[in-house]
Amino acid sequence: MDQRAAQNLEIKLANMKETDILIIGAGPVGLFTVFEAGLLGLNCELVDNLDKIGGQCIELYPDKPIYDIPGVANQTGKEHIEALLEQIKPFDYNVHLNTRVESIKSKGEKWIVKTNNDSEFLTSNIFIAAGAGSFESRRPPVENPDRFLGNGIEYAVRDIKKYKNKEIVIFGGGDSALDWSVELAKIAKKIYLVHRRDDFRGAQHTESQMRNLVKSGNINLKIPYIIKDINGVDAFSGVDLMHFESKEIETIECDEALFFFGLNKQLGPILDWEIELSEKKISVNTENFETNKKGIFAVGDINTYPGKLDLILCGFHETTLAVQEAYKRINPGERVPFGYTTSNKGLQEKLKVNKS
């Protein structure tokens, strides 16, 4: 490298934002990474392609209760994100929304990360906490399914109050369809749950709740039916269903239709980073959840390993161990200053714990 090129590189590096950990994904696991890093005195930069913090919790189910956070009986997706944001207030981090990481390049033991808006970061550690990756709700197989989007057709519940005293048709056989059928039955005028077979993929407890509501008349279960068409000229008026076996058509007039056919998941630029993948997920070891690239970790739903469960609490465990390794990379040869927050007075003061 000639002298001019070396000088240009030095100037470029000086203008980069340097951080201990660059986190891709501002969902629950990304936010908890900030907490664990903060306990060890590390700073973070959070990058997310969405226009708001919270990942799938905010984008897909802000009002849906979450029951498997230890010590919390139940909490909506929105409440969970708000609690995590409160928890990381004492620590050093920045958030970059509407920002997608486009490329990464190694520089010695560090990484140069470039985004779609030409921001550049220099970091020792990259944490991929991107949930399922970039995602888009699967559309129903009808002509122009989005023509009433936001005005009768939705692929996620963003405001539960919108459905009060409404007649609603819900399509799907997974957790989202079951969860929202049960939740909305509490406030809706009428609920139809439509599925092509009498076999559901959701939690057994929620399915039992749904079937009890069917028996009590609070939910009208339409099996085996599929969507045939979405009705309406200037405004949404309902749907046509087709019996899966007899092919007979039934029209249902309703106020709202919710489609929970799952997500189309895309890993996007991650595919170009030479990271080892397995079935569209990132392979990691279970010692520190590092990928095949030193200094690049994958935590939460984006990763895979033997025995993997896609639960938020599992992502919390994974990133806790990964941050320990990130500290070692930044401070080679030093012991990780691990300590219980219950006995560390310095941490208690920083976290503003009420000791009374």
Interacting residues of 19 by C-beta distance below 8 A, sequence separation 6+ = 43, 44, 45, 121, 122, 123
In tens, the pLDDT along 223-276 reads 999 999 999 999 999 999 999 999 999 999 999 999 998 776 666 778 789 999
SS3 352: coil
Residues of the chain with pLDDT > 70, as a percent, come to: 89
Q: How many helices (H) and strands (E) does the chain have?
A: 8, 22
* Cα dihedral 346, 350, 355, 356 in deg (nearest 10): 130
d(CA 70, CA 73): 8
HEC string of 144-158 equals CCCCCECCCEECCCC
- Whose CA is closest to 71, among 313, 345, 331? 313
- Whose CA is closest to 42, among 334, 301, 356, 307? 334
Interacting residues of 261 by C-beta distance below 8 A, sequence separation 6+ = 137, 138, 139, 140, 171, 172
CB 17 within 8 A of CB 119: yes
d(CA 149, CA 158): 13
pLDDT higher than 90, residue 203: no
CB 25 within 8 A of CB 130: yes
Q: What is the pLDDT of residue 176?
A: 86
Q: What is the pLDDT of residue 62?
A: 81
In tens, the pLDDT along 270-321 reads 878 999 999 889 999 999 999 999 999 999 999 999 999 999 999 999 999 9
In tens, the pLDDT along 20-67 reads 999 999 999 999 999 999 999 999 999 988 778 998 888 777 888 888
